[in-house]
Amino acid sequence: MTISIMYCPITVDDVDASIAFYRDALGLSLLNDVASDGHRWVTLGSADWSGPALVLSDPAAGRSPEDGDALHRLVAKGSGPGPYVFFADDLDAAFERARAAGAEVLQEPIAQPWGTRDCAFRDPAGNHVRINQARQAAG
């Protein structure tokens, strides 16, 4: 049996601004955009649907108004779910693309003691986003 993650939900306060971040800063493709009852669920990922995808939605989508308000407050102050960790084969290029797209930089690329290089940003809603690049094996 094989099992893998298919969707990762990310709560955002402005779906359109978040589409621009994940599409333009991180290079993901818009796969689906579904509206229902005044909310939107937007899926972004690999253009060929070959891997996990993100699903962006507002805090109240599928939740009670009270839960949506509580989640919105957590995300806005950077205490929501996450960090959301991505992998790039060229961390420096990914970092420059995200910075050029206006992403809020939290950490420039650095080598971590646990064996990876990474950098960090906040998306427009305040979610913590990290990009990792595996360290090259010693030859």
**pLDDT tens string 24-57:** 999 999 999 999 999 999 999 999 988 899 999 9
Nearest to 85 by CA among 10, 3, 16: 10
> pLDDT tens, 69-91?
998 888 887 777 889 999 999 99
Specify burial of residue 27 (Cβ count, 10 A radius: 0-12, 13-18, 19+): middle
Residue type, 78: G
What's the number of CA atoms in the CB half-sphere (13 Å) around residue 9?
13
Distance CA 78, CA 37 (A): 27
Q: How confident is the model over 102-114, as a mean pLDDT?
A: 93
Question: How far is it, in rounded angstroms, from Cα 122 to Cα 61?
Answer: 21
